[in-house]
Amino acid sequence: MNLGYYPGCSLHGSSDDYQQSLKACFSALGVSLKELDDWICCGATAAHSLNHKLSIALPARNLGLAAQQGCNELLAPCSMCSLQLKKAQKAIAGDPALAAEMSRIVEAKPDGARVLNLVEAFERVGLETIKTAVKTPLADFKVACYYGCLLTRPPKVAEFDDCEQPESMDKVVEALGAKAVAWNYKTECCGAGMTMASEETVLELSHKILADAAAHGAQSIAVACPMCHVNLDMKQAAIEARYGTKYGMTIYYLCDLVGLALGLTPQALGINRHFAGRKA
Amino acid sequence: MNAKMQSDSISLLESLAQTKLADCYQCGKCTAGCPRSAHMDKTPNQLIRMVQLGDVDAALKTDAIWQCVSCETCTARCPKNVDCAAIIDALRQVSYERGMTSKQQAAVVLFQKAFLASVRRNGRVNEIEMIAQYKIEGFAAMRRLGFLFDGAMLAPQLQMHRKLHILGEKVRDRDLVRRIFARCMDGKA
């Protein structure tokens, strides 16, 4: 199976442990990822905060590239990227005047590819296929599946799972033989892109997520977004210092867990490059 | 602000946000679910109310619009399908364009600006270059020495985890990226 691949800036930057994990995991599943040639940034929060038109145009450029490169399914493993791509696609599909304007702005026709977030990509592979491929069931893993904001919200754009009580990631984790714990903060915000500009925001919001996961018996948290990982993993020591607690919570990208169950080593998946919790 | 300017501003916000402000009946569900509302000078439903009543300038000057983390909970839960997160985006854009952003929130505004500047130059975010611009402009705006070094202690750790990339990436067709930015932000054809 082939999937188009839109890494986004994080996976080519400080979150390239996510890309390492993703590539190792999908390769083990027999899925080849074909990176979109000459992709550009989706614009993220900066674009949708400062210029609405740009927040549609930047994803539209990538959708134009996908069309030119014959890509029908595009995996965007950052939930900000996948939402921005879906949002632009929806806006263009529902408004012929906007579609014409965007074609002019990005000098291409931005139609078509089906955009997949990480969980959707695993669903596309098939949970039964994944289950059959498991070599090392994750029997002693108690995982809190953390969806964050943009995998499911806003529901009319994301068109994915239930935005209040999502279960899709839990199903993937259980297919690996792990226990997905029931908890309350599945879709609360971690502070997202405020990591640099307002650290206090991130510490407060991410602390609540870690605390609730720990209170419900989770030993690790699964995420499907590089920003969620930065805030819960890289900022975990600062959260512990700020609130006088100790979590030692391992934060896995969902593909880390799938990869481990497929028999890949933590080193192959880049888990040893995380900041908090278990490295091996 | 006269009545005509008020209604023009409301129309501009509604057209940017693609939503209808009059639909909001002030139930407060947006604020109840907002993870930042406890810290905001105006809560999400208050922001909407201010705009409904024509007090657009006051809404444009709030801290709240820059404290919003864009989690989209307000939009997802609105029983009247008002796209509250998009209204906040529209307020941010107009506030930025009219130079009315809150001084208290300068760090957030400058971060977003540095992020877009890096994308405009390279087509992708160059983390080091973006942080450098953010720190220099932030220091110039806030005159707080500590600001320059906030977060600096993470650099050696990032290096240790092989997460620090000094050389950022550039896309090949940067001319097109510049044309896209010019068409969207500078009103060029």
Tell me: do B73 and B147 sit in the same domain: no
Tell me: do B34 and B115 sit in the same domain: no
Under 8 Å between Cβ of B88 and B108: no
Tell me: do B89 and B10 sit in the same domain: yes
CB of A2 within 8 Å of a chain B CB? The answer is no
A221-280: per-residue pLDDT in tens? 999 999 999 999 999 999 999 999 999 999 999 999 999 999 999 999 999 999 999 877
> In sequence order, what are the residues at sequence separation of 6 or more whose Cβ sits closer than 8 angstroms to the Cβ of residue A114?
A72, A73, A74
How buried is A122 (Cβ within 10 angstroms: 0-12 exposed, 13-18 middle, 19+ buried)? buried
Chain B (26-45) residues lying within 8 Å, Cβ to Cβ, of chain A:
35-36, 39
Tell me: do B92 and B119 sit in the same domain: no
CB of B104 within 8 Å of a chain A CB? The answer is no
Please tell me which residue of chain B has the smallest CA distance to A206. B35
Tell me: do B59 and B127 sit in the same domain: no
Cis peptide before A59, with omega less than 30 degrees from 0? no
In the predicted model, is pLDDT for residue B15 greater than 70?
Answer: yes
Tell me: do B108 and B163 sit in the same domain: yes
Tell me: do B70 and B112 sit in the same domain: no
Give percent helix, percent strand, percent coil of chain B, each to the nearest 5: 65, 0, 35
Contact B164 A14 (CB under 8 A): yes
d(CA A148, CA A209): 10
ipTM exceeding 0.90, yes/no: yes
CB of B177 within 8 Å of a chain A CB? The answer is yes
Give me the residue from A52, A106, A189 closest to B180, CB to CB. A106
Contact A198 B107 (CB under 8 A): yes
- The CATH number that applies at residue B14 is 1.10.1060.10
Tell me: do B65 and B107 sit in the same domain: no
CB of B8 within 8 Å of a chain A CB? The answer is no
- Number of domains chain B is built from: 2
Question: Predicted confidence band at B140 (pLDDT cuts at 50, 70, 90)?
Answer: confident
Residue that finishes a domain, picked among B97, B130, B152: B97
In the predicted model, is pLDDT for residue B156 greater than 80?
Answer: no
**Residue B189's pLDDT is what?**
62
What range does the domain containing B12 cover? 3-97
A contacts of B171 (beta carbons < 8 Å): 38-40
Size of interface A-B (CB pairs under 8 A): 159
CB of A72 within 8 Å of a chain B CB? The answer is no
Tell me: do B48 and B133 sit in the same domain: no
Tell me: do B77 and B16 sit in the same domain: yes
Tell me: do B14 and B88 sit in the same domain: yes
User: All domains of chain A, ordered by start, with CATH?
Assistant: 2-118 (1.20.1050.140), 129-273 (3.40.50)
Give percent helix, percent strand, percent coil of chain A, each to the nearest 5: 50, 10, 40
Q: Which amino acid is at B20?
A: K
Tell me: do B137 and B152 sit in the same domain: yes
**Residue A177's pLDDT is what?**
98
Under 8 Å between Cβ of A74 and A82: no
Please tell me which residue of chain A has the smallest CA distance to B163. A14
Q: Which amino acid is at B78?
A: C
